[in-house]
A = this chain, B = another copy of it.
Amino acid sequence: MATDHNTILTESIKRLLRRGATTHLAKIVNKAHAADLSLVFRTLTLANQRKLFSVIKDVEQKGNLFSALEEKVLLDFIDSMRIDDIVAVMENMPSDDVADLLGKIPQKKADAILELMETEDSEEVEGLLSYGDETAGGIMIPDFIALREDMTSKAAIESIQKNYHDVEMPFYIYVVDENSKLLGVISLRQLVVEKPDTQLRDFMTTDIFSVRTDTDQEEVARIVARYDILAVPVIDETQRLVGIVTVDDVIDIIRAEATEDMLKMAGAGEVFVETQSVIRSTRIRLPWLFASCMGGIFAFFIISHFESSLEKLAYLAAFIPVIMGMGGNIGTQSSTIVVRGLATGRLHIKDLWKVVSKELSIGLILGVVYGLFIAVVAQARFYDTQSSGAFAISVGLAVLCSMSVAALVGSFVPMIMARINIDPAVATGPFVTTSIDIASVYFYFIIATTLIGV
C-alpha cells in the first residue's frame, strides 16, 4: 500500500519536474509526508532535488525532510547548500538529528553552523555531540517533561499546557527532585484521571527503567523492546535526568542493527549499498572477497602438496565440493544462530561453553548422518575400484571432521569475539567461512592419503 503510494508520488513529482509545473509541484510536495518525500528525493538528480526543496514552504517540513533522508543523500545535498540556509533548516530539526549530522560533516563547516545557530539550540547540540555516537547519550533527545515531586496533578497539567508545548513525545511525565535527580514516572493518562490536588510523588511509579548516557544503543533498544515502553529516560553519572530515548529511534536502531549484522556476515559492508553507485558498491565489497580469495589460494597450496596422491587417485578431487559445502553450510548455520542470538539477547557471552558444546554436539550428530550418507554414495560409485572401502571411509570421516569443526568454529569465533568486545558479525562472515574451507580441504587430504596410503 505505502509502496504503491510512494511509486505514484515519485512518478507524479518527476513528471511535474520535467514539465516545470512549479505551482502544481508545490501543491503536491507541501501535502506529502516528509518520510515519503525522502524516498522521492533520493531518486532525483541534484538539480531536481534543489527544485523540489525550493518549493517546500514550511521550514519545519524542510527539517522533517532532512531528518528523514538517508545520510549519504543528505550529506551530498547539504554540500550544495549555502550555510545560512542549512542553519535555518537545522533550527527546525530535533537536536539529536542535528548532532548526528554535524558529527558527519567536516569539522570546520560544523563549527561554522554551530556558531550561526541560536545559542539555546547550539548548546543542546553541543551537549549531545559530547557523547559517543552509538550510546544513549548520542541518540537521546533533550526535550522531555520533568516536574517536581511536590507538584499537584492540577498544577502539573497547567505546567504541561504552558511550558511543554513543543515536547515531541509527551507520554511520560518524569518526576524529579530539586537537583533534577530522577525519582519516578507518571503517564499523561494517569495525570488526566488523577484527583487535581494529589501530589505527583503520591501516585508516581518509582520502579523505573533508565539507562546511563554511556549505555550502548543496542542495550537501550533491548530494554525498550523487552519492557514495551515508549521512551526510556537517560541519566548521567549523578542520576540527573538529561534526556530520553524514544521508541521511534529504537525502531530505527533495531532495523539498522539487523541490516548491519546481515551485511557484515555476508561481507558486504555495514551500510545498505544498493542505492549507491556500482563503483562504490564494488569498492565496499572488494576487500571482503579478498579474505575468501586468500583462503582459496591457501587451499590451493594444500591441495598442490598432495599432487602426487591426486595423480594416482584422480577421483579424490571429486569429493572436494561436497566436503567444503557441508562444512561451509553448517558453519553458517552455527554462526548465524550465535550472532543473532547475541544481538537479540537470547544468548549471553557467559554461556560460551554451553553454546559451543551444544553446537559441537549438533555438528557431530549431523556429521555422522551426512558422513555415512556420503560414504555410502562413494562406496556405491567406486565399489569396483581398488581400495574403495578405505576411500569411502575417508570421505565419510572427512565430512564428519569438516562438519564438527565447522560447527565448533562457527559458534566459538563469534562468542569469543563478543567476549573481547569485537563485533561478532564482522569477525564471523568471510573469515569463518574461509577458515572452514581451508580446514575441510586439509582434513580431507590428510585422512584420505593416510587411510588409502597414496
**Measuring CB to CB, which residues of chain A are less than 8 angstroms from any residue of chain B?**
1-3, 7, 31, 33, 35, 157, 160-161, 165, 170-171, 188-189, 192-193, 207, 211-212, 215, 219, 222-230, 247-248, 250-252, 254-255, 258-259, 261-263, 265-268, 272-275, 278, 281-282, 285-286, 288-289, 292-293, 295-297, 299-301, 303-304, 307-308, 310-311, 314-326, 328-330, 332-333, 335-341, 344-348, 350, 355, 358, 361-362, 365-366, 369-370, 373-374, 377, 381, 430, 433-434, 437-438, 441
Contact = CB atoms under 8 A, between A and B. Distances in A.
Contacts of A308: 314
Contact of A326 (B252, B261, B293, B347): B293
Contact of A251 (B192, B250, B297, B320): B250
Contacts of A160: 189, 192-193
Contacts of A433: 325, 328-329
Contacts of A361: 278
A303 B317 contact: yes
The 9 closest A-B pairs by CB, nearest first: A296-B322, A317-B317, A258-B258, A266-B336, A299-B321, A303-B318, A310-B314, A228-B248, A268-B333
A274 B355 contact: yes
Most buried by B among A1, A157, A252, A373: A1
6 contacts: A289-B326, A304-B381, A325-B433, A325-B437, A328-B433, A329-B433
Secondary structure dominating the interface of A? helix
A293 B247 contact: no
Nearest to A216: B1
Nearest to A190: B170
Most buried by B among A33, A263, A296: A296
Count the copies. 2
A222 B274 contact: no
B2 A222 contact: yes
Contact of A340 (B189, B262, B281): B262
A162 to B, nearest CB: 9
A348 B304 CA distance: 46
A266 B348 CA distance: 21
Contacts of A341: 272, 274
Contacts of A344: 255, 259, 272
Contacts of A319: 296, 300
A225 B255 contact: yes
A433 B263 CA distance: 16
Contact of A289 (B247, B295, B370): B370
